[in-house]
Amino acid sequence: MSRAIAMTDSPPAAPPAPARRRSPLAAILRHPGAVLGLVILAGAIGAALLAPVLYPASPWRMVQRPFIPPFTLDRVPLGTDALGRDIAAGLMHGAGVSLLVGLVSTLAALLIGVPLGALAGYLGGRVDDALMRFTELFQTVPSFALAIVLVAILQPSLGSMILAIALVSWPPVTRLVRGEVLSLRSREYVQAAVVTGQTTFTILRREVLPNTLSPIVVLASLMVATAILLESSLSFLGLGDPNRMSWGFMVGAGRTVIRQAWWITAFPGLAILLTVLALNLIGEGLNDALNPRLSRER
């Protein structure tokens, strides 16, 4: 892609050169796709925050006749579903669930993946071997099937969904962090820290991990996108939190009446598509901004 921005400063893995460093934010804002992504994401966050204000009543409540097509009644701009529920209200309330699950499960996956990757990369040897075998095992297992089994067994709820998504999405983090740590381990400043007698934990926390931050941030933004896809897929199969309206559930509920009422499934699906697209665009922008060396490859 011709979006690659020619940047003269050093890549983030090397010791920083603060004087010449252009702010990553400025770099992202020069990336048109990322700006579009930020706008869409802001819209989704706005919808999530405004949902309780604009639609204080439960999105599960029947408000009108069922099967009202969109753009016909001002009170229900996007129409109603098979049970007369307001689709616009569902969309607004669903935004919060998707964003929350996407964000929290990604954070949880980082909490599992980063320490494992750091240990594997830094300690090497048998620990590395064992941890990598373990990671490979989780990468082989069909992740969506495992997520289904986990949520079904733990009973559907927001918590079990977050746990299941985190448990199937940490392996790429481990592999990434391990690779980064492996290349940082022999750097002079890390060796200096070893010589001064700091503990492994302190070295990892203060010297090594801060320098792996930018690739992790890029990966995390893409993981939130994948997590939202997983969340909506689970909800579509009826494994969502039974008390929360979500986009995936709405698509699943409209599936049986798709021949009569396309809008019941079309709008929530579009909302998922736009949000996931936005996060992917932001991820690409972040990648170009934070890893200028890699961005030339694209």
Partner 1 sequence: MAGFIAQRLAKGVLVLAAIVVLNFFLIRLAPGDPAVVMAGEAGATDEIFVAQLRTKFALDQSLPSQLAAYLGSIATLDLGYSVRQQMPVATLIGERLPATLLLTGCAFLISIALGVLLGALAARRAGSLADTAITGLALLFYATPLFWVSLMAIILFSVRLEWLPSFGFETVGAGYTGLARAADIAQHLVLPALTLGLFFMAVYVRMTRASMLEVSRLDFVKTARAKGLTEGVIQRRHILRNALLPVVTLAGLQAGTLVGGAVLTETVFAWPGIGRLMYDALLQRDYNLLLGVFVVSSAMVLIFNLVTDVVYRAVDPRIEVAR
How buried is 82 (Cβ within 10 angstroms: 0-12 exposed, 13-18 middle, 19+ buried)?
middle
DSSP for 6-23, please give it. ---SPPTTSPP-TTTPPP
Q: Cβ closer to partner 1: 11 or 52?
A: 11
Least separation in angstroms between residue 269's CB and partner 1 is 3
Contact partners, residue 27, CB within 8 Å, separation at least 6: 5, 7, 288, 289, 290
Based on CB atoms, which residue is closest to partner 1, 208 or 222?
Answer: 222
Minimum CB separation of residue 174 from partner 1 in Å reads 14
Instruction: Choose between 107 and 152: whose C-beta lies nearer to partner 1.
Output: 152
Measured between alpha carbons, how far is 80 from 92 in angstroms, rounded to an integer? 14
Q: Are 208 and 181 in contact (CB under 8 A)?
A: yes
CA triple 59-62-67, angle to 5 deg: 105
Other Cβ atoms less than 10 A from the Cβ of 116: the count is 22
Of residues 47 and 150, the one with the C-beta less far from partner 1: 150
Contact between 236 and 147 under an 8 Å Cβ cutoff? The reply is no
| Calpha distance 187→275 (Å, rounded) | 40
Coil vs helix vs strand at 179: helix
**Which chain residues interact with partner 1 by CB under 8 A?**
1-2, 136-137, 139-146, 148-150, 152-155, 225, 229, 232-233, 236-239, 248, 251-252, 255, 258-259, 262, 265-266, 269, 272-273, 276-277, 280-281, 297-298
Token pair for 144: 């969506």
Query: Which of 21, 298 has the CB closer to partner 1?
Result: 298
Rounded to whole angstroms, the Cα distance separating 37 from 274 reads 9
Report in angstroms how near the CB of residue 238 gets to partner 1 at its nearest: 7
Smallest distance from the beta carbon of 50 to partner 1, in angstroms? 24
Q: Which is nearer to partner 1, 200 or 280 (CB)?
A: 280
Tell the smallest beta-carbon distance from residue 280 to partner 1 (Å): 6
For residue 59, the minimal CB distance to partner 1 (Å) is 19
Query: Shortest distance, CB of residue 150 to partner 1, whole angstroms?
Result: 7
CA–CA dist 69, 46 (Å, integer): 25
- If the CB atoms of residues 193 and 278 are measured against partner 1, the closer one turns out to be 278
